[in-house]
Amino acid sequence: MSAHQLHRSLARLKLRCFAVRPQRVQILSTPKAFYDSLVERCDAATTRVTLSALYWGTDPLAADLAEAVARAARRGVVVNVTLDAARAGRRDKDGRTSVDALAGVAAAGGDVNLVDASGRRGLVGEILGVYHAKACVFDGATLLTGANLSEEYFSTRGGASPGRAGAGPSFTGALRGTRARGAAAAPPPPPVAAAPHGDALPDRASARPPGF
């Protein structure tokens, strides 16, 4: 089956398809290349940075990435981070969560959104359903990955190394639409952390998150 035939077959099933020219795809072969690409593209972005993952780590490498995202927001880049609500609320051994890790992004003017995929909090919520879309958009470029945004994926988990692809507005628009279709604004972190930017949406999302 040719690529064109596959695209038409998927379209008949009403699955969303996005055509990408092979020469616009670059494979990132190591976790370090993945991490370096994230930071470099955050620093180079001029219009938008959109990051979607299951959760955001509380480790030093994830903190440095969060600072790169905050720098983009301070330059006036439109920043959106979307995570799963249940997993992003899980605390590490020091009591910190993904929301805490992204407090600086929110304080810089970026939007941090949580998708309530199951309607339940904690481990029960993670078992019943999670938001698991993992992709990053920097201006007109899209990075697809199986990795979460935490140190183990930035340093050791080679099996999660991503491919990077340039994509048109149809794909990047679909990813940016996750907030409107399935996300609620992140709740404020504890008083010691900066408050998120923007008005909070209802705690329960009105729709299930889109699939990718």
**What confidence tens digit (pLDDT) does each residue in 48-66 have?**
999 999 999 999 999 999 9
What is the CB neighbour count within 10 angstroms for residue 195?
A: 11
Class of domain 26-185: alpha beta
Band (pLDDT 50/70/90 cuts) for residue 212 is: very low
What number is the average pLDDT over the span 128-156?
Answer: 86
What number is the average pLDDT over the span 27-42?
Answer: 90
| Contacts for 25 with CB less than 8 Å, ≥ 6 apart | 163, 164, 165, 166
Domain definitions of the chain by residue range: 26-185
CA angle centred on 59, ends 86 and 88, rounded to 5°: 10
Do 17 and 8 meet the contact criterion of CB atoms below 8 Å apart? no
Band (pLDDT 50/70/90 cuts) for residue 45 is: very high
The per-residue pLDDT for 120 is 64
Is pLDDT at 165 greater than 60 in this prediction?
no
What residue spans of the chain are helical by DSSP H?
3-12, 31-44, 60-74, 85-88, 98-101, 103-107, 122-128, 151-155, 169-176, 178-182
What's the pTM value of the predicted model, to 2 decimals?
0.70
- Digit-coded pLDDT (tens) for 92-134: 999 999 999 999 999 999 999 998 877 666 666 666 678 888 8
